[in-house]
Amino acid sequence: MCLILLAIQSHPDYKLVIAANRDEFYDRPTAPAAFWDDEPGLLAGRDLRADGTWLGITTKGRIAAITNYRDPSSIKSNAPSRGSLITNFLSGQQSPVDYLEGLKRDAHEYNGFNLIVGQKHKLYWYSNREEGIRDLSTGIYGVSNRLLDTPWPKVTRGKKMFRTLLSEEKDPAPEALFSMLADRSVPDDETLPDTGVGLEWERMLSPIFITSPTYGTRSSTLIFIDLNDRVTFIEKTFNSSPDHATTIKHEFRIQT
């Protein structure tokens, strides 16, 4: 993922709302979100090159999502796939904190990441670019390709729109949230970060929804968990064109 927005206990009808975009090269093979044949309780898209995922939820309420930390100067060509960090948690039995504590020992082997794991509305954030595990309490959070709540333009803009939609809508309209995730506004150059990829790429990567000839937003995902543990998972996939989406929807109740 390259933008994850979280609303934890911030709406009267929902314990958790997630709105997220996954950005990737168009030629990286991907399967849209579905329940996996080899992990029947796991709902997620699938990276067909490394066999991991970027965002998922299970029927038991385990949730995980990841973004890369953009720092081209520190890239390791032989690093393990970060997508496995999601599947390992979702398919496992460890508590979120125990999982993250165990990950710390080997986190340096991976390229930079932000990892969010949890159960229902209790989420935690960890990055191998900063010390410590953060317990995410009630509130609205955003993470792109730096650290949690780093005020990059897309994070600041996304959190503001997200908060407004959740405050105005008694039952947040999925299409309004997808419209937020489709925002292609390009911020002014002076507000852009300098992550070592050059100004042209910083501009291209700066909108909430990214388009370019080779790289862009491949999918937008919404996850709602209501007060009765009912999950609504909606994903729009843009594999062929950023203006033509395929939509899937899954609904289930978390098993206790």
Write out pLDDT tens, residues 188-243: 999 999 999 999 999 999 999 999 999 999 999 999 999 999 999 999 999 767 77
CATH of the domain at 89: 3.60.60.10
Chain segment 119-171, per-residue pLDDT in tens? 987 999 999 999 999 999 999 999 999 999 999 999 999 999 999 999 986 78
The model's pTM is: 0.96
Quote the number of domains for the chain: 1
pLDDT value at residue 30: 94
What's the per-residue H, E or C state across the chain?
A: CCEEEEEEEEECCEEEEEEEEEEEECCCCEEEEEECCCCCCEEEEEECCCCCCCEEEECCCEEEEEEECCCHHHCCCCCCCCHHHHHHHHCCCCCHHHHHHHHCCCHHHCCCEEEEEEECCEEEEEECCCCCEEEECCEEEEECCCCCCCCCHHHHHHHHHHHHHHHHCCCCCHHHHHHHHCCCCCCCHHHCCCCCCCHHHHHHHCCCCCCCCCEEEEEEEEEEEECCCEEEEEEEEEEEECCEEEEEEEEEECCC
Whether 81 shows a pLDDT value over 70: the answer reads: yes
In which domain, by residue range, is 14 found?
3-253
Task: Place 1 in a pLDDT band, splitting at 50, 70 and 90.
Answer: low
